[in-house]
Structure 1
Amino acid sequence: MSLWKRLFGMLAVLSLILIGAGSSASAAPRGSWNDFSCRPSVDHPRPVILVHGTFANSTNNWLVLAPYLADRGYCVFSLDYGQSPDVPFIHGLGPIDKSAEQLKAFVGRVLSATGAAKVDIVGHSQGGMMPRYYLKFLGGATKVNALVGVAPNNHGTTVLGLTRLLPYFPGVEDLINTHTPAVADQLAGSDFMRRLNAGGDTVPGVKYTVIATRYDGVVTPYRSQFLNGLNVRNVLLQNLCPVDLSEHMAIGMVDLIAFHEVANALDPVSATPTSCTSIFD
């Protein structure tokens, strides 16, 4: 996909968001999140925890989705994880198994504050995959009802084949391993990926949804994002809206069509069909 098509796709999505936001601005105020006094409602009994991606943080990844869900009556929370002492503001850099321990602690804090029995988790990129480690190895399956991954790196990425070039550049791989271990963990064939997916992609008792875009240039090939196992729903964004050209960042940060499908995954009983007009819902 050409650079111009990618830019056009992002501009198109942003334009649709502005139209949709303008049509609903008078209907309700923008919702807030990380309000630990929030109590889940009967309609939405589980808090939603948003898990950002690599090189992101608990705010900038969720400037659209967090209020989108809060406006719909959810108690919404987000955390920073994988911090590096040498890098301010952007996170998701540390070893993924350690980041999963941070998620475990945050889930416990949210459950304690809200009185809920379980949470739902929505994550973008690394944030859609890292919780699987928590579910599989850290007891998270008893605390989580559903995991919704938006462009999740579930089986490792080839980054459009660039990882095959690493052996030709001595020292680069060691630099990645030392300063951004989360990046090394996410490469196709890494020790972390092999351990995460050994014995199956899923654990019993948790519902899984994956929302992917065919134009993803970060987690490649895009079909590697899809999961196998029970209670799994794999969704390709372009099957819902063929003209949606969102790439890896747009689908997780600004795409209201994808976010409508997130809402459906969180509340399947009240789900409505997702289409190109879902920005107006």
Structure 2
Amino acid sequence: MLPWNRVLRPLAALLLTAALAVVPATAAQAADTSGGGGWNDHSCRPSAAHPRPVVLVHGTFANSVDNWLALAPYLKNRGYCVFSLDYGRISGVPLFHGLGPVDKSAEQLKTYVDQVLAATGAAKTDIVGHSQGGMMPRYYLKFLGGAAKVNALVGIAPSNHGTTLSGLTHLLPYFPGVGDLLTTSTPALADQVAGSAFLTKLNEGGETVPGVQYTVLATKYDEVVTPYRSQFLSGSGVRNVLLQDLCPLDLSEHVAIGLLDRIAFHEVANALDPARATPTTCASVFS
């Protein structure tokens, strides 16, 4: 039997790296997300050029501010009404969200989208999510009536078919109790293990729903949602994009693609407004 430390240390390192990378607390406290020109401004009214508000959905271990300190202003400066929510909080765990059962988080998203549509007067919204935030909305679209209220879903490194964590999850059966601990303590992690009951339900019978446009942005250097091609969707209305096909010099991994990558941001803008899309290249970092 393999020693515990050879399995759990890499797993813990990956999870801790993802968590710490998305929580610059000082910046989060300084961010203006209550209006006054920032995002989450409920007085914002969508323009004719951008008639749908954009809802940003953070990833596991992240929150509604830290995950979007770069992308939210990027979209706001391009004329979008931008909103973000916290979901999946576990009692007693501050700052880190996206840990509760994914189906329950989708119910929170449903409520939030209704609030955004009511505030802005829009008929539909667009959703952009990172990691779990790119996968979880699919449950809302498929099982909670979200397809009638969402025009497009853009997933940035989404866990659409779960993750093997570079093969580490294959070792869970060798350690009785670890899987149960994940399920009871951090249900979202258990739900995102490749082959989980949740993902089986989500993907059976078709991975997309009619009427919604899907875009998946992936990086071949992703070390969290592995293998990276498991992020791609099949079905109608899908565009799967590998960033290195657009810019071979892009070295972003799982965290950077959602937090910092201007090439990914340019593709998000293209997905939200395909009629005005422009080619994404390495020069898009300057756009």
TM over 0.5: yes
Q: Secondary structure at the match of 1:205?
A: coil
Alignment of 1:62-81 (within 5 A): 62-81=68-87
Q: Which amino acid aligns with 2:222?
A: D
Q: Secondary structure at the match of 2:200?
A: helix
Q: 1:264 aligns with which of 258, 270, 274?
A: 270
Partner residue in 2 for 1:235: 241
Q: Secondary structure at the match of 2:52?
A: coil
Percent identity over the alignment is: 76
Deviation string, structure 1 residues 124-160 (Cα, Å, up to 9, x no partner): 0000000000000000000000000000000111110
Q: Secondary structure at the match of 1:157?
A: coil
Q: Secondary structure at the match of 1:277?
A: helix
Return the offset for 1:64: 0.1
Structure 1 distance, partners of 2:135, 2:247, is 24
Structure 1 distance, partners of 2:265, 2:274, is 14
Q: Which runs of 5+ in 2 are unaligned?
A: 1-35
Q: Which amino acid aligns with 2:127?
A: I
Q: Which amino acid aligns with 1:50?
A: L
1:215 aligns with 2:215: no
Alignment of 1:128-139 (within 5 A): 128-139=134-145
Q: Secondary structure at the match of 2:282?
A: coil
Partner residue in 2 for 1:44: 50
Q: Secondary structure at the match of 1:44?
A: coil
Partner residue in 2 for 1:111: 117
In 2, are the aligned partners of 1:31 and 1:68 still within 8 Å (CA)? no
In 2, are the aligned partners of 1:37 and 1:114 still within 8 Å (CA)? yes
In 2, are the aligned partners of 1:215 and 1:246 still within 8 Å (CA)? yes
Q: Which amino acid aligns with 2:140?
A: Y
Q: CA RMSD in A?
A: 0.9
Partner residue in 2 for 1:55: 61
Return the offset for 1:228: 0.4
Partner residue in 1 for 2:205: 199
Return the offset for 1:168: 2.0
Q: Which runs of 5+ in 1 are unaligned?
A: 1-29
1:89 aligns with 2:95: yes
Q: 2:232 aligns with which of 226, 233, 255?
A: 226
Partner residue in 2 for 1:250: 256
Q: How many corresponding residue pairs?
A: 252
Structure 1 distance, partners of 2:191, 2:117, is 29
Deviation string, structure 1 residues 95-125 (Cα, Å, up to 9, x no partner): 0000000000000000000000000000000
Structure 2 distance, partners of 1:169, 1:227, is 31
Alignment of 1:162-173 (within 5 A): 162-173=168-179
In 2, are the aligned partners of 1:213 and 1:251 still within 8 Å (CA)? yes
1:151 aligns with 2:173: no
TM-score, normalised with respect to structure 1: 0.89
Q: 1:176 aligns with which of 177, 182, 205?
A: 182
TM-score, normalised with respect to structure 2: 0.87
Q: Secondary structure at the match of 1:89?
A: coil
Q: Secondary structure at the match of 2:49?
A: coil
Structure 2 distance, partners of 1:109, 1:156, is 29
Return the offset for 1:222: 0.4
Structure 2 distance, partners of 1:227, 1:106, is 25
Structure with higher RCO (Cα < 8 A, 6+ apart): 1
Structure 2 distance, partners of 1:168, 1:228, is 32
Structure 2 distance, partners of 1:50, 1:181, is 21
